[in-house]
Chain A
């Protein structure tokens, strides 16, 4: 039982890291998705390049670049901050792609109808297209959030005291990796379940508010 509590003490860090990274991604993903859909070739090419570059480098490599790379001799950065920036960056690129998918799912008639009503480009987007696109994006965003939660396990390698880090400590203290990592795995599965359930019920509710 005390072993279980020792690992659970990492849970707030795991949740905080996931929440911060997701919040960064949900926010900064919007301008990046819009840039990706820009009419100007220079803008959308640059956005596409940024997204491709961020996603082509493994999360652990981003963590190391920010923590060991910048940390030795450039700017001192705490493990949590390095992890938050790394995962925030990755979440931004992934959320931009999710938003793009949501925007593509909106039928063209919605734009036509908004134009026929004489809405400006801004109002067409803000009042007609975006609210529907966000609803369509929710299921992918929720499964991404669960994926992100599991990805944050890699932050243990740079010393963020989250779940996997605590499991590692326990495994070294008790010489029983089987037990320590088994508990950690069970905790990850247990947190993913309610998130998946919430996302499913929210989705079936929001689906009814998208024109098709």
Chain B
């Protein structure tokens, strides 16, 4: 290995540019995916059967399909039906669908853990179904879902590495690119791995702390 620290320092701006792309895709997927997850969570509890069936199908397909296959389906498959997207848009769309399917289960579990008496109380004081959701169920249910949603966000950040296959210039693609031009794959990929670890390890320690705090409150 003839790579000095100076070489790695020279690669760093390129790698951090890639990291920025990864973080933007993560943010975009979560911003689209978590509201989608909320809608799906409400949809699978709907009374109207066609809506419930459609939401269930979306969740099961979204969770049952590997994110990589979903991504390639969106990027290489959808142009056949006239939906051609940039790799950025395809990445965010595919990961948002994945996020929606997984977070809907997390949010549903959160909503279901709100004690039934809360619903009865809301009905008793004459809240409409929408107000019951807005003021009673969501504030309590989402709070319970927060630690799991944060944990899932870390997984989606790691999942952005899959966008390598649609030629999105994210962190892994940049490291691979450096590897293919300098033929120093090992140090370049290791540098990228370090950047992933530098973000994910503190993030998961933080999520663990939030989890313990949430557990502390729920035990009261």
Interface residues of A (CB under 8 A from B): 52-53, 55-62, 64-65, 68-74, 150-151, 153-154, 156-157, 164, 167-168, 171, 176-182, 184-185, 188-189, 192
Q: How many A-B residue pairs have CB under 8 A?
A: 128
Contact status B65-A150, CB under 8 Å: yes
State how many angstroms separate the Cβ of B98 from the closest Cβ of chain A: 11
A72 touches B77 (CB 8 A): no
6 A-B pairs, CB-CB below 8 angstroms? Answer: A53-B197, A57-B158, A65-B186, A156-B68, A177-B79, A188-B64
By a beta-carbon cutoff of 8 Å, the part of chain B in contact with chain A is: 60-61, 64-70, 72-73, 75-81, 158-159, 161-162, 164-165, 172, 175-176, 179, 183, 185-186, 189-190, 192-193, 196-197, 199-201, 204
Collect the chain A residues with CB atoms within 8 Å of residue B175's CB.
64
Residues of B near A53 (CB, < 8 A) are 197, 201
Contact (Cβ within 8 A) B77 A177 = yes
**Does A153 contact B189, Cβ atoms closer than 8 Å?**
no
State whether A153 and B158 are in contact (beta carbons under 8 Å apart), knowing that A64-B172, A68-B176, A188-B64 are contacts in the complex: no
Report whether A69 and B185 are in contact in the complex, using a CB–CB cutoff of 8 Å. yes
**Contacts known (A171-B77, A181-B76); A56 close to B61, Cβ less than 8 A:** no
Taking the closest CB of chain B, its distance from the CB of A136, in whole angstroms, is: 18
Contact B172 A58 (CB under 8 A): yes
Which single member of A69, A151, A178 contacts B77 (CB below 8 Å)?
A178
Question: Among the interface residues B81, B159, B161, which one has the most CB atoms of the partner chain A within 10 A?
Answer: B161
Residues in A whose Cβ lies below 8 Å from that of B185: 64, 68-69, 71-72
A94 to B97, CA, bound (A): 25
Contact B66 A150 (CB under 8 A): yes
Whether the Cβ atoms of B193 and A57 lie closer than 8 Å is yes
* A-side contacts of B65, CB under 8 Å: 150, 185, 188-189
Whether A61 touches B66, Cβ cut-off 8 Å, given contacts A55-B204, A69-B185, A157-B165, is: no
A60→B172 contact, CB < 8 A: yes
A68–B193 Cα distance when bound, in Å, is 13
Measured between beta carbons, the chain B residues less than 8 angstroms from A182 are: 73, 77
| Distance, CA A59 to CA B155, complexed state (A) | 11
Q: A68-B185, A73-B186, A189-B60 are in contact. Are A61 and B172 (CB under 8 A)?
A: yes
Chain B residues whose C-beta falls within 8 Å of the C-beta of A179 in the assembled complex = 77
Contact of B193 among A61, A71, A157, A178 (CB under 8 A): A61
Most buried by B among A58, A168, A179, A182: A58
With a cutoff of 8 Å between Cβ atoms, the chain B residues found around residue A157 in the complex are 164-165
Q: Collect the chain B residues with CB atoms within 8 Å of residue A151's CB.
A: 66
